[in-house]
Amino acid sequence: MMLHCKNCKKKFYHPNEDNELEGKLIQCKFCNEQWLYESKTKYLENRLIELAEDLNNTESKINLRKEEFQNKINKLEEDLDNKKTELENQKIVQEKVTVFEKRLKETEKLNNEELELHEKAGKIKKEIRITSENISNHNKDIEEKTNYLENKINSYNKDKKFDDSSLNKINSEIIKNEVVDININKNFSSVNENIGDKLENKKEKKKNKFFSPNFLK
């Protein structure tokens, strides 16, 4: 009968029949591989046993994979629930962001008002500084004038000491001035009298001329 080597996959002839070779050691003529010969029925039976075992293993693996997928699905569902919860929380956060945006606008308004007040305070400080400088300059001027007035007043209030010669000189000057004034007054009176006499004489001449016989000629 023809046999098929499981190792080298070649076929070779054996003189015994199938029932005679059952359970016997067979050796390949090509690769010398040895194995126990099984009949076709026994081979199929063993094959079915192997298939059943393979099927059991496959079913076990499938069940394991199912369990893994189920665990994965459970985990994904849990993640999905968490995402939905996070989405709800996100809506709340978005509402808070909207509230903060409104508050930020108010804060910007307050900030602008603060800047305006700061600028106004700076202008006032500058004006105060300039005013202080003007006051200081004016105070200096007033102080200088006050010092001048004080010195002037003090110069008037100083005691002046005169000796006899000075007093005599002053008295002589006074008498001299009085004499000059008297002479001037006398001269002025004499001049006035002369002018008066001349005016009277002139008036008399005009009067006599007016009434004279030759006036109408």
Per domain, the residue ranges of the chain are 1-37
Neighbours of 27 (CB within 10 A): 13
Spell out the per-residue pLDDT of the chain, length 217, in tens.
777 787 888 887 777 776 677 778 788 888 988 877 776 677 677 778 889 999 999 999 999 999 999 999 999 999 999 999 999 999 999 999 999 899 999 999 999 999 999 999 999 999 999 999 999 999 999 989 999 898 988 888 765 544 455 555 555 655 555 544 555 555 545 545 555 555 555 555 544 544 444 444 4
> Which are the contacts of 162, defined by CB distance < 8 A and separation ≥ 6?
170
Residue where the block lists tokens 């591989």:
33
Question: Can you give the pLDDT at residue 172?
Answer: 61
Interstrand relation of 2-4 and 11-13 (parallel, antiparallel or unpaired): antiparallel
Neighbours of 81 (CB within 10 A): 10
Question: Can you give the pLDDT at residue 150?
Answer: 87
Q: Which helix (H) or strand (E) holds 209?
A: helix 164-210
Question: Can you give the pLDDT at residue 162?
Answer: 45
Question: Can you give the pLDDT at residue 14?
Answer: 74
Question: Can you give the pLDDT at residue 29?
Answer: 84
Cα dihedral 105, 109, 114, 116, rounded to 10, equals: 140
Question: Can you give the pLDDT at residue 33?
Answer: 85
Question: Can you give the pLDDT at residue 125?
Answer: 93
d(C-alpha 67, C-alpha 103), whole Å: 52
Q: Which helix (H) or strand (E) holds 22?
A: none
> Which are the contacts of 41, defined by CB distance < 8 A and separation ≥ 6?
none
pTM exceeds cut of 0.85: no
